[in-house]
């Protein structure tokens, strides 16, 4: 898998991230950048979903939680689309909000 394809695939859920990690060249700085950005988005999405599920169990704040976490998930989706576009254009421009976080070396 070439670097551009690995960068694009990495943003497509956890499965795409794992495929890009295994099939992509993890020594390539371009691939590492997009794997890192996608990892952060996947972690944020997973945590957001878990917290949203907890709030769904509390009747008083069920609707408010659904609205707030739905909007957060929408922002994560837009950032993933921005990451896909960045990878398709062979760019390593960091994503807004989470772009400076480095989890992978």
CA-CA distance, 93 to 103, in Å (whole number)?
Answer: 16
What are the pLDDT tens digits along the chain (105 aa)? 788 888 899 999 899 999 998 887 778 888 888 999 999 999 999 999 898 888 888 888 888 888 888 899 999 999 999 999 999 998 888 888 777 777 777
Query: Which 3 state secondary structure label does DSSP give 7?
Result: helix
Query: Using an 8 Å Cβ cutoff, are 28 and 3 in contact?
Result: yes
What is the spatial distance between Cα 35 and Cα 63, in angstroms, rounded to a whole number? 34
């Amino acid at each position: 898998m070439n670097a551009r394809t690995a960068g694009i695939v990495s943003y497509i859920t956890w499965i795409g991230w794992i495929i890009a990690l295994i099939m992509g060249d993890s020594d390539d700085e371009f691939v590492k950048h997009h794997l890192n950005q996608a990892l952060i988005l996947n972690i944020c999405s997973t945590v957001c979903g878990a917290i949203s599920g907890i709030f769904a169990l509390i009747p008083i704040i069920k609707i408010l939680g659904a609205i707030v976490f739905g909007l957060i998930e929408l922002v994560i989706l837009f950032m993933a689309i921005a990451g896909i576009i960045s990878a398709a254009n062979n760019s390593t421009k960091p994503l807004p909000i989470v772009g400076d976080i480095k989890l992978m070396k």
